[in-house]
Amino acid sequence: MFGRVVVLGVALAVSPWASADVFKCKGANGETVYSQDPCSAGAAPMKLRSNRASTESAGEAANRAAVYQTTELADAGIAERNCLSSEQSRIYGPVNARGQDVSRQLAALNRDLAKASNNLAGATYEAGIRSQIASLHQSQTADRTSADTQMAEARRRCADARSERERATREKYSAGGK
């Protein structure tokens, strides 16, 4: 009996693609039995339904295309965010590392400044330290300004890449692009 159920399961599973008919019969003990052979002379084959449409309707194709287009447009946005993140790390990573180094140098110079004597030699020494501090602040500001300029250009490049990708996607899924 188990063998027939397995055969029945396989027959039902492949039935949308198979050309054989399936008949529903009553067994000797009253159980339901499925067979490829008719149970009686007037037995009619079962009508089996397929879960898959044989062809895709125009509406289904349009829905599929809309989903693909939306996905590709979302991917363009994700690619832009990844581009910006990568550029930000590339540009600001070294600037931040140099900034930490400058902060350590400034802290050391400020400690030296606190130790400067209150006399002519100390005043000269203090002026030198203040000049070094100003120079470090100036170089740090120039470094940050340069990084900001580079990042603005990177934002433009990433946005242009996204725009181009979105344009190509819209063209691909437009009525003329099919």
Nearest in space to 130 (alpha carbons), one of 138, 58, 71 = 138
Please, which residues have CB within 8 angstroms of residue 91's CB and are 6 or more apart in sequence? 147, 150, 151, 154
Range list of H helices, the chain:
2-14, 58-115, 120-173
Asked whether the predicted pLDDT for residue 2 surpasses 60, the reply is no
Residue 116 pLDDT greater than 50, yes or no = yes
Q: Contact at 8 Å (CB) between 34 and 8?
A: yes
The tokens describing 99, both together, are 């900034």
- Beta bridge partners of residue 33, listed in sequence order: 25
Task: Summarize the confidence of residues 46-54 as an average pLDDT.
Answer: 70
Q: Are 39 and 23 in contact (CB under 8 A)?
A: yes
For residues 86 and 75, what is the distance between their CA atoms, to the nearest angstrom? 16
Q: Quick one: pLDDT band at residue 80, thresholds 50, 70, 90?
A: very high
pLDDT tier, 163 (very low <50, low <70, confident <90, very high otherwise): very high
Q: What is the pLDDT of residue 5?
A: 43
pLDDT at 119 > cutoff 90:
no
Alpha carbons 64 and 58: distance in angstroms, whole number: 10
Q: Can you tell me the mean pLDDT for 38-50?
A: 78
Burial of 59 (0-12, 13-18, 19+ CB in 10 A): exposed
pLDDT of amino acid 43: 77
